[in-house]
Structure 1
Amino acid sequence: MNQRFYSLDVFRGATVALMILVNNPGSWSHIYAPLKHAPWHGVTPTDLVFPFFLFAVGNAMAFVMPKLQQGGDGIFWKKVIKRTLLIFLIGLILNWSPFVKWNGDGLEIKSLHNLRIMGVLQRIALCYFFASVIVYYFKQRGAFVTAAVLLLLYWMLCLVLGTPGDLFSLIGWFGNSIDKSILGEAHLYTGEGVPFDPEGLMSTFAAIVQVIFGYLVGDYIQKRGNTNENNTNGSYQMIASLFVTATILTVTGLAWDMVFPINKKIWTSSYTIYTTGLAIYTIAAMIYFIEIKKAKGFLLKFFDVFGKNPLFIFVLSGFLPRALGLIRIPNGLNDEGLPKYLSPFGWFYENICKQVPGIPENGSLVYAISMIIIYWAICYWLDKKKIYIKV
């Protein structure tokens, strides 16, 4: 069966919308706790966004893989390599953007000597590539076994190569030294205060499994999820199976957390298992209400629009603020008597959002919601024009 599930499109679109929300606060100093990442171990709602997106990548793969398998090795490798390189390259370009920066009163080209190599899109590209190859050659059963091996292998590497007594800390985790040696310290993320990349090479092991699990669930839904009125029993059986699977994975992830802490920044195996369980819960609930109970409403259409151009709008949400940052609006003088400037988005936050009554987090949240509305309007226009930018 090749039934297309509207709920999967809504799931993907909602994930993109949440990505924009958590990545675009008015001020990084004023964020409500649920919209922050966990400092190290643990999970907040924000820590679910990226694994849910990778899970959605796997869901989508379940619908295109049959065509790639029918086309043979030549078509498969051409499609997968092209898409992988494009997504990775776009991620690199986004890291370099907007390509120039202000130096005094003039613009100069941004140097490449400290360009961050990895990032969200780069991780998506690598996970998509390896998951596609594993699924294509090993099929469903082999992909599941390979996923289990990857999770256990990553755990063993952490235990064997990590600093004794400090295996899962920022300093003791084994992957950081390997990322430094391969990528170079100058090309790593420095937001943790030291060179450390949360989308580094070693932590990609378990992230690949997120896509594989997404594929397996998407394949199961596609084959077993006939939501026609004449197949009500089959639909409920499929939903029940998803909830049971989600429960098993969630409990397993929590149990594993006791010896291998749930941690997004080093993407531990327990984190993969736990967040996959939560993603399946979400998908199952959406299928129940949207496909079986035929729920309708503006919110579903709102998220669906985001799902039509997910990668494009994610890239735009990263590029546009940086590009507009080159526009300088005078904003008085600093303590040294030098002129200060705001970007158009910065002016909008300072003069409108920041004036919202209450604690500063209110204005920061209003700004983030405003960004969602702006990018939704762009997605809506593209959808109306039937413009779908695929990579």
Structure 2
Amino acid sequence: MTSTQIKTQRLLSLDVFRGATIAAMILVNDPGDWGHIYAPLEHSKWDGCTPTDLVFPFFLFMVGVSVVYAMESKKTTVPHGKLLLSALRRTAILIAIPWITQLIFHPDGGLAHLRLPGVLPRIALVYFICTILYLKTSQKTRDWIFAFTLIGYFIIMTCIPVPGVGYANLKPETNMGAWIDRLVFTTNHLWRESHTWDPEGLLGTLPAIATSLFGIRVGSWLKRKDRDDNVKVSWMFTYGVIAVVLGLIWDLFFPINKALWTSSFVLYTGGLATIALALCYWLIDVQGRKRFTYFFVVFGANAITAYVLSGYIPHYMGMIKIGGASIYQTLFAPYFSPINASLVSAIFTVAILWLVMWIFYIKKIFIKI
């Protein structure tokens, strides 16, 4: 990693939206007690979509938008080989970070039980593939790839019989994606909660790429100089609503499901992300209402760094003892109901991480991977 100072003008709404997504990601990933969590802060058991299920697709959507803002000027002035090598380096680092983290926190498992898929590896693969597509294809081509990916994934998951099962299905352990993950990674390298399937599996990365292509489409629209801001916002709301409706219709045949990252999930969450970004853009960049933005900008300017540290800081906070008890047992559990103590602890974790990111921000240090 290297630290640099940001010298170019940033679109504030992008940092706010990205920062809000990261704050939500930390909030839902670090409750004080996993046995006591408010329902909206939990993932769906399987089909369906809670507010928590929106966090990851919103981030991947923003990856696509950010690719446009990072690459648009460079794609005509910098050799593509250089840009792709830089993207490949970032991809390798993002994949390596969770592997190293696992070896630090779970040394007993070693390489033999290292989980290979995961959130950061999926972000890395999606980022790299979408960078290639943005540099090497036209928007029309990317639109076709988006459509074929969603339709093709639907056909694979619902029409092709799963080897060893004999029929296509969308159950956790017997769907096509789970079979491919066991074949490629083996059960020793999958999600620790199951070892038979993985919510960030290999096949599900295909529709996750479509989520970022959705972001590229919206980012390209935002960057257009031949459209008035009000026109941009109006059409973003329109596109978003249409995508949500299409997602809900497709849900009748291919259920909205985060773990499978179904095609209906891509449309539904991509539509909501487009609406949310349109609202942020209109309020912040068009109307100039920026008073509430600072908290989120601090997170958004160092989004990946904040997410990575969210895997370390809570771990080491848990090792701190006050009178022989943990911070959670001392500061929260005695004074709140179990479910509220868990929530307040999660908010406390977000605040601690924000303070760390605030120090980076005021020092004008922005970590680029």
Q: TM-score, normalization: structure 2?
A: 0.92
**Cα offsets for 1:5-60 (capped at 9, x unmatched):** 21111000000000000000000100001000000000000000000001111111
2:334 pairs, out of 348, 355, 368, with 355
What's the counterpart of residue 334 of structure 1?
none
What are the residue-to-residue correspondences of 1:85-104 with 2, within 5 Å? 85-98=92-105, 100=107
Q: Hey, what's the Cα distance between the residues in 1 that align with 2:141 and 2:40? A: 37
Shift of 1:328: 7.1
Return 5+ residue gaps in structure 1 as ranges.
Answer: 101-108, 227-233, 332-341
Determine the C-alpha separation between the residues in 2 that align with 1:3 and 1:319: 31
Task: Map 1:65-144; keep pairs closer than 5 Å.
Answer: 65-70=71-76, 71-98=78-105, 100=107, 110-144=109-143
CA distance in 2, matches of 1:168, 1:55: 24
- SS in structure 2 at match of 1:28: coil
Distance 1:273 1:90 in 2: 30
1:380 pairs with one of 353, 358, 361: 358
Q: Deviations over 1:164-208 (max 9, x none)?
A: 6761111331110110010010110032x4522100101111001
Taking a change above 3 Å as real, the CA distance of residues 225 and 303 of structure 1, as seen in their structure-2 partners, is farther
CA deviation after TM superposition for structure 1 residue 225, in Å: 8.3
Preserved contact between residue 134 and residue 146 of structure 1 (Cα < 8 Å): no
Q: Which amino acid aligns with 1:219?
A: S
Cα distance in structure 1, aligned partners of 2:250 and 2:269: 13
* Aligned-residue offset at 1:386: 1.0
**Secondary structure in structure 1 of the residue aligned to 2:260:** coil
Alignment partners' CA distance in 2, 1:110 and 1:327: 24
- The higher relative CO (CA closer than 8 Å, separation ≥ 6) is in 2
Q: What is the Cα deviation at residue 98 of structure 1?
A: 2.9
* Structure whose CA Rg is larger: 1
Kept in 1, the 8 Å contact 2:63–2:215? The answer is: yes
Could you tell me which runs of 5 or more consecutive residues in structure 2 were left unpaired when the two chains were aligned. Answer: 1-7
Q: Which residue of 2 aligns with 1:46?
A: 52
The equivalences for 1:238-317 within 5 A come to 238-297=232-291, 299-317=292-310
**Distance in 2 of aligned mates of 1:137 and 1:224:** 22
Query: How far does residue 222 in structure 1 lie from its aligned partner after superposition?
Result: 1.5
| Whole-angstrom CA distance in 2 between matches of 1:97 and 1:257 | 41
Contact kept, 8 Å, 1:353 with 1:363, in 2: the verdict is yes
Q: Does 1:59 align with 2:95?
A: no
Asked if 2 retains the 8 angstrom alpha-carbon contact of 1:253 and 1:270, the reply is yes
Opposite residue 211 of structure 1, the aligned amino acid is S
Cα deviation 1:194-245 (Å, max 9, x = unaligned): 522100101111001111111111111011487xxxxxxx221111100110
2:223 corresponds in structure 1 to 222
Matched to 1:368, the amino acid is A
> Using a 3 Å threshold, how does the CA distance of structure 1 residues 368 and 171 change in structure 2: closer, same or farther?
same
Is the contact made by 1:130 and 1:208 (CA closer than 8 Å) also made in structure 2?
yes
CA contact (8 A) 2:42 2:52 kept: yes
Matched, 1:161 2:161: yes
The residue aligned with 1:337 is: none
Of residues 309-318 and 348-357 in structure 1, the stretch that sits farther from structure 2 once superposed is 348-357
Aligned-partner Cα distance in 2 for 1:323–1:94: 13
Residue 171 (str. 1) matches residue 151 (str. 2): no
Query: Which residue type is aligned with residue 81 of structure 1?
Result: L
Contact 2:318 2:327 in 1 (8 A): no
Identify if the C-alpha distance between structure 1 residues 195 and 327 changes in structure 2 by more than 3 Å, giving closer, same or farther.
farther
Give me the whole-angstrom Cα distance separating, in 1, the residues matched to 2:143 and 2:9: 23
Does the 8 Å CA contact 2:305/2:367 hold for their aligned counterparts? Answer: yes
Partner of 1:370: 348
The residue identity in structure 2 corresponding to 1:356 is Y
Structure-2 separation of matches of 1:325 and 1:352: 12
1:67/1:97 CA distance change after superposition, 3 Å: farther
What is the match of residue 149 of structure 1? 148
Distance 1:110 1:323, change over 3 A: farther
Matches of 1:325 and 1:372, distance apart in 2: 14
Q: Which residue of 2 aligns with 1:336?
A: none
SS of residue paired to 2:310: helix
**Are 1:248 and 1:277, in contact at CA under 8 Å, matched by a contact in 2?**
yes
Q: Structure 1 length as normaliser, TM-score? A: 0.87
Q: Residue in 2 aligned with 1:229?
A: none
Report the residue type matching 1:146 in the other structure.
I
CA RMSD of aligned residues (A): 2.0
| CA-CA distance at 1:308 after TM superposition | 1.1
Cα offset, 1:72, TM superposition: 2.3
Q: Deviations over 1:260-286 (max 9, x none)?
A: 010000111110110000000101111
Q: 1:189 aligns with which of 188, 191, 195?
A: 191
